[in-house]
Structure 1
């Protein structure tokens, strides 16, 4: 909203604070540059405020710049080689597109059509939205750790792109019932008994039936989670 309404300086400040909270926030500088392209003085002010927002929100990164840079590079390297986990044999583009499908279901098709229209029309709002989707998705491609949470910043932007077809909005809303049903199905197991509580019951039962219980059984009763 700040970029579309041309409040570039405030947008820069917000981007800086977002980057301090999570490094990928810096990718929002690309839509900022796209929106303010040609207005070099305002773009420079926005960039300066982005830096100021980052420093204010994360002074550690400036005071200990070497350690901060090392931590950033180590985290990025581990995400790229898959050592953070959530790795699989699929290509990053396929894996992250699959996560977007899980999040949006068939509404993703509508969002991609909206993205195509945005690229074709290229007005101010379209350029901002399309540039963010492009730069963020490209930033995901080198990663071998395919966590589904990595696509979360794309979901609201794709939702806006899908919502541009106002006459088709009721159908899009109905399509979102599909991922909602998937979510209900996947979280059903959370209504079952916690496996931690089950293991406590099992250990206590086995300890009581032991012929020669150790001192830890006699002195330390496991806390109940029931």
Structure 2
């Protein structure tokens, strides 16, 4: 019975599309040509919005731009510009990690950040169920919540080699598994695991390696 339910649910979901869960990407919705929007992962960067086909569907630039040194990007809707950093202000708030796509509502579809041919179905208990796009629609479009033939619709914002300092706490060093960073946005402090231990990116603590070696994230 469970497999029949899953097949039926998948058919409806892939055919109709559902609102996606909590994603982390520059949002040009309701913006105008040439408007700037914040980089949701970094309070010192921003993206431009543009309408490539003149249809009113704006997209963000492929790469973010950096604010000048000593400036941050003010994400308030009535500002949306780089402004001088004021020490007593909170500049880096409400950041998100593009590699942590979370379910917000049961029944929504969210991308698998490691495989564009797969997606996740959000369940009632907050967990998710992995599923695969059909062969005739091999790519999951994270914006529409539909499988499609367009590979450019893939969720490609998670870079395992990038270091996302979005909330206070430990984050792994992507190029050295014996080290980690302590993040206090936007500040980072580098640490080495003691006693030849390796940093576990799941538990976020240094542990003795059972194999005597470790694998870097990138």
RCO greater where, 1 or 2, for CA within 8 Å and sep 6 or more?
1
TM-score normalised to structure 2 length? 0.22
Which of structures 1 and 2 has the bigger CA Rg? 1
